[in-house]
Structure 1
Amino acid sequence: MNAEKKAQKERIGRGVLGALLGALLGGAVIVFEDRTAGTFSPIFGVATAVAVFQGYRQLAGGLSKRGAAICVIILMAVIAGANQINCTMEVIETVDALRGRDFVEVFGSFEEIPEVREIQSWYQGHLLVLYLFCLLGSLPILVRAFRKPRARTKAELDEILLGKEQEKDPEQEREKPELQGTLYSFRKAWMKPVRVSAGGAAVALLVALVALMMLMPRLEERFQIRLEFGMILGIFLSFIPLMWISLTITRYCNVFQILYVRAAGRIWRVNLMKLCRVGDWETLPPARQAVVRDDILWELENILNGDLSACDSGAVTELRDIQAEKEDRWSWTISYETDSGSRKKLKIPKGYPDFVPVMGMERAEGPTPYRWLPGLAALVLTVVFLGGGFAVDRWRASQNEGDAPARDTHNLPEEPALPDIPARVPETATEFVISEIRFQIDREFQYSRRRFLDGKTGTAYRVYTQYGVDAADAWDTLTSHIHTDDPLYDRFQAVYSGEDLLAPLGETSRYNIVSVYRTDGTVCHTAAALSDTGALFTLEAEHTQAGQSLEEVLANLMYTLNSVRFEGPEVTEENYQTKIHLSEIRNCAYMAAAYIKTDHFGHEAFVDVYVPYSDAPIYASEGRAIRTEAHGLRVYASIFPGENAKEVVEARQQVLASTGQVYADGVDDQTYREDLDVACMLTVYEENGQKRNAVLYAESMWEGWYLLREITGLPEQIDEEYLPLLKELEGIFGLTMPVLEQLGE
């Protein structure tokens, strides 16, 4: 029994390669269908299952229980991977907070954003349906693989499996066949160079395609086009060369069950699997080979005597009237006459020692050479498909843009620059501190959370701050309101149009002002001052030309830019997590300024948030969120998108509720100031057996983006400095939290 099992054992290593190729082809189809058609067709789950099992069977030479289990694991993994790729690409395309982020960065590490959770939930349901259809497609194959073989009779076990004969009468003893012949078996080692060259090329192309799929967001950013239909189609078509290489491996290397026999002056092709269920001659022990040899010769003798064959159709094929067609270093190509009288071509790999099908052809005497042509041809085809896909996407992008040229924000158009603007000094001014940056503004302006309003003219001003930026990033911010595809867009002008983009402002900073004109009569100004340490102060103003003159607004902007004083530290990618410090500019004893990442300005930068000071702050979401604890108070801070502050707070409450530990009656207080666009909510939840009171507080930071803080009391850690810390926090945030104050009493 062990001998027969070993003889029928498939080649697992090659089978895994075949299953992977089939899985990748099926996964590519799932990704391609989702990204192009935008529909959900679970039938592709069935197709993927068939591709995986057929790929394994073709290269392994069979499918055992172990092979079926391997295929199931590969199938589950590739379906999950394809579904996750689709989910990640959908998130990058539709969620503003993640738009433009790297595929690798987003894959498997989504932010806690409501839109992301909705997309994930849909794709999780999609995955379950795909698994169900994969099961339906795999069920018939699995049933055949796990079906128990027919029980053999005692005579068969004695004669075939144990390799010995029963005690019989002399007349009942099995006779040796009278026909004699020479058997030529396939030697796997002789085709190893073909396996290595074809398999290595397939793996290299596969790795390149997977890497390209991950790098597509960066390519989109580099070429400023949408790589969608064309490139995905190119990647899909590029799997054709991979299948071509796998067919090369199959054609030359997967013939373990084929023997050629020269007997009675004829050549016969014998399929051992169909004749006696043997998958590989080389793995048979000598005793078993002798039995199989006799079976083959008995079958040939019966055919020559005109007796009916008891074997499956195709088990033994006579190659009549053989003619040479073609020969290369790896195979012979011959033609022979079939039973119907027609001629059929047959390619025989040169893996049969001392065999030659037709006189005059070269005899196989050693291993074949490496075969690089299929790999090179596959590489060329892959480049052609991908290049064609890229060209299609560029053409589609140009069609979508029409005749409008792509805007290069690092070069000014040929429009005259505005003249030097004198600063307008107001009668009285007030100094403000935002993000450890001091600046002055007309005292007559009404102030409300980074917003200023000139009540006399209706001109609105708004302040933004960034850290860790350079001149190019500053110019991106200055030109952020230039949208040439906006039907109301007219033109833009800049105060300074020099080659360096920014003009000197004092000794340690530079500036510029960009004005965007709209056809409805409104003008949007963006004024920015950049310090030598990489801190950027931005002041926007929007007004109508009828309401206030252009010169007056620019004069107000110049006055504020001249008053800017940068007092924060230099913040970089290397040090931002160590720059948390007590805010001296706010005269704080407990609250600290910390810095988190953001790319909401169109480039990566840092913004400051105020949290309780801690020597060991915890950063999350790749530096885009921070949490600190001190004296019984914990604060989590991050930036989220939303329509308004109320929506952001409620979304965070849903995140907490999804844990199943929030008390049903825990939300007993909620406030939303529409005029200020701030919101807070009290929630009560359980953490490690402890009851937690938390205040969720969101305030508008930029248009469509909100700074969310989750402020939680930790009763078991409260000390005498809890209340002073809480009072200082309330003063900075501009709110009172009675429920947290009661914890310290």
Structure 2
Amino acid sequence: MEQKEREKRRESLVAGLVGAFLGSLLGMACIIVVSQLGYVASLCGVVMAVCTLKGYELLGGALSRKGAAAGIITVVMTYVAYQIDCAIQVAVAAEVDVFLAFRNMGMLLKEGYLDTGAYWGGLVLLYLFTLLGAAPLIIAALRGDTEPGMPPEAVRVKVAEEAPSTCQYYPAHPTWMRTLRLSVFLPLLAVVLVIFLPLALALSGNSSALPVIASLVGGLAGMIGMCAAAFVLAGPSDAFRWIFVRQDGVLWRVQLNMLNMVDTYRFTQQRIRMSDVRWDKLTEGEQAQAKASIERAIRVLCTEGVLPGSALSRVVQCLPEPRLESENKWAWKISYQTQTPGVPPERGGRRVLQVAKAYPGLAPAVGTVPPEGPAPGRWGFGVAAVLMILLTAGGYMLGVALEKSGGTESGRPVRWTEPEITTQYQSMGVTFHLPGALVWTEEGSFADPETGMVYTVTVELGATEEMAVDALTEPIGEYRLRPDFDSFSFAYTNTDQDLVKLATKDRLSCLHNLITIRFTDGSTVESGVALAQDLFSTLVRVEVSGGSQVDEETMEHIVLYILEGMEFTGPTEENYQEMYHLGREEGYTLVGIALVPTPYEEDPFLRVPLPYGGEVTYLEDGGVLAQAHGLRIQARACWSPEGPQAIVEEAWAQVQAENRDLYQDGIFDSEYDAETDVATKQFSFWEGDEARISFLVAQPMRDEGRYRFMEVTYIPEEMDSDYPTLIQEFSHASDLYLPELEPF
């Protein structure tokens, strides 16, 4: 073990570069995988830096000034990873080979097929995070490159000839540097929280790309400078890592945690790698053992010819002939003599070391006075934090200004001025405000007699994002067959999303986009879709067409004005029956969603699932009836303070009053499940010559006493190939278990 400590750990540049390359491949994979999963891959720049430099250190043996050149590999491989990621996205969108897309990335940027702002902004963010991960490792390598010298010959001879003398120990005071630490890292924490805001916006996608990127660039640039300054200013605050020892007038510095990691010198079982061993946390017995280990290490260094640069000489460092160079309120800067074996003492150099004023009773050099109390804080560092926050805000404002100067906000058209006269139109719970005094046409559109423009508005419930994209691109196929078709373009080109967010007049969030269809005579058709993120997943499509006298920009502004001005009023007594739709927003293909009125003012409508594909009848008692694929459902909202059993018994009495041809052996007692508060009753009857099996069900709503009642009836002769799927979907939609009865 002692022999291993004497061996010098040598660095191999070639092996290190191979390790750096292999590590960069891991970082590259992280960047590409995270990006393809739809997350912000810039954060993986930290992973790239750590993997590359740690790969150099693992195979090269050490990371020094020479090894810091591996940073070049980090820069190159980060760029390659970013290019590959972009090429994959292009290949998927254009349905081409990835290698072809990679080779033509430059051409795509030059010709404007890719958004240059988003491309370069993403690359800058990736490099900033890469720098954030690489900086601590490179700084540590530059600091730790110099090998500690051996104790001078005079010290080694004196220790060898004399018996071990009593050492003086100077551990750091546990609280003397606390104020300094807080004064530096509290402002730094505030800066990190400020940086988190634009980062959260970037991850959520709720803000325009350019301002967020500009604020992140400004904030991260300032934060890197602040981190570098913080590590320098707060340097004395890590004094607890070392203990100073004076033996026979010679000063030694010992790194406690590293000494404890050497098996032959271990003095405590506190092998917690996430925190350092602290002198004030050791027991008296552990402190005594530590002193014995330190004195033995000093003897080994002075008598057994340990090679310079060995692990032990780095942990237990001799500081002969210390001399004061400078000092401030927090630390001394001293220099000490170094000597390399075989070099005359007069040719030995001197090295500079910072000693924190955190060690009671320690005067490291002639002319120094031992500290008498805690060091003051550096609260002026908070000014840098304020400047950093201003830099972040300035970056955001610059991004906003650049967007405005370009006439767009993430490619978004400028808002159109609201007209003085509008035509109000309502459809399926959505109120539209169309510009001008319009006239309803027989074709189901609105026409403006003054301009000749035609407005077509459609509303569909239960839509998905895929359906919205299909509705957006539908005009391309519709108009492309015309001989005068010229071209088309989308309104939003600065995003990789097909639909971008839009806030309507009533603050409802939607996903939307616009498309312009151009013809050779100069006329245009402007179409826009908006998918509301509401209870019904409402899809709205607005199309505006007109003569060549209306310019393209005006058409675009009008469509955006209509979409932004939408008001989602929801169901009313007049329109709730129109809102029956296939429940595609919930993943159903055979279950429709209908609304039935309730007697409750604060919750006037109840959603009920129904089999989709047949006629729907709204009943006079406020219920609804639908029949399709072998299943008939009648549903309504009920209220009963006596519980669901009373509702089921009342419904059973009504069945008997209807004089149905009941099958007595098929009538079962009512059942009640107290855990779910659901009551049911099964019975059979004849409907003409056909047998029927029905279930009466009362389920609770949100509030006590409110229930949804359904009569579920099986129609065997209508059971088709969709029947099994309908049973599964309806069971899920109604939160009931329906048995899949075979036709009988």
TM-score (norm 2): 0.39
